[in-house]
Amino acid sequence: MVTEPAVPSTESENEFDPDSPDTQTASALRSLIERIETEVSTLQLSRFSQADALALGLLLVDMATERNLPIAIDIRRNKHVLFHVSLPGATPDNEIWVEKKSRTAQRYAEPSLLVGLKGRLDGGSLEDKGWFDQARYAPHGGAFPIYVKGTGHVATVTVSGLPQKADHNLVVEALTSFSLNMREDTWS
């Protein structure tokens, strides 16, 4: 049985916002964690090549250009950069965030937003923990591991330039569309 990838949910006013300074409920935090874990389990590709990295990167460029988003986009396999672009309005700071968020997703083999949210489960944040190296890692939304069925994490796609949930949701939207197109190509 084939299951469709998760479609990014429309954010509700009650959904946890990691950028908000307001007090938020533990249930909202757990709900967002569950949503992202569902995205991880459903966004599993059948393959991922350098040509696929180019296609995914160009899809993100098209989406961002159409929406006039000032972002940097990066796809890499470990330290091998497969695709990278800085769109109008992106800054050198976005490049720093790409590196740190990508390194976080690579290290934990989970979306960088999920890493950060799990770090909040006991209160505080990962950045508050003395052992967490903020100079190398950023547990903020925007980096998502690319998983291949039967293989696991093979690459990481990262977006930087928007609030962290918006970065994350853009990547999920692109991976969802890319996954659906890949299935259609495989079956035709």
Give 118-165 pLDDT, tens digit per residue. 988 877 777 767 677 878 889 999 999 999 999 999 999 999 999 999
- Give the H/E segment covering residue 84: strand 80-86
If you average pLDDT over residues 89-93, what whole number do you get? Answer: 95
Buried b (16+ CB within 10 A) or exposed e, 43-59: bbbeebeeebbebbbeb
If you average pLDDT over residues 86-109, what whole number do you get? Answer: 95
Q: Is the pLDDT of residue 7 over 80?
A: no
Q: In sequence order, which residues have a C-beta less than 8 Å from that of residue 13 and are 6 or more positions away?
A: none
Q: In sequence order, what are the beta bridge partners of 59?
A: none
Predicted confidence band of residue 181 (pLDDT cuts 50, 70, 90): confident
pTM above 0.85, yes or no: yes
Q: Is the pLDDT of residue 8 over 50?
A: no
Q: What is the pLDDT of residue 2?
A: 29
Q: Based on C-alpha coordinates, what's the Rg of the chain?
A: 16
- For the record, the structure tokens of 84 come out as 């990278």
If you average pLDDT over residues 19-39, what whole number do you get? Answer: 91
Q: Is the pLDDT of residue 39 over 80?
A: yes
Q: Is the pLDDT of residue 188 over 60?
A: no
Give 55-76 pLDDT, tens digit per residue. 999 999 999 999 999 999 999 9
Q: Cα-flanking dihedrals φ and ψ of residue 95, to 5°?
A: -65, -40
Cα–Cα distance measured from residue 176 to residue 111, given in angstroms and rounded to the nearest whole number: 15
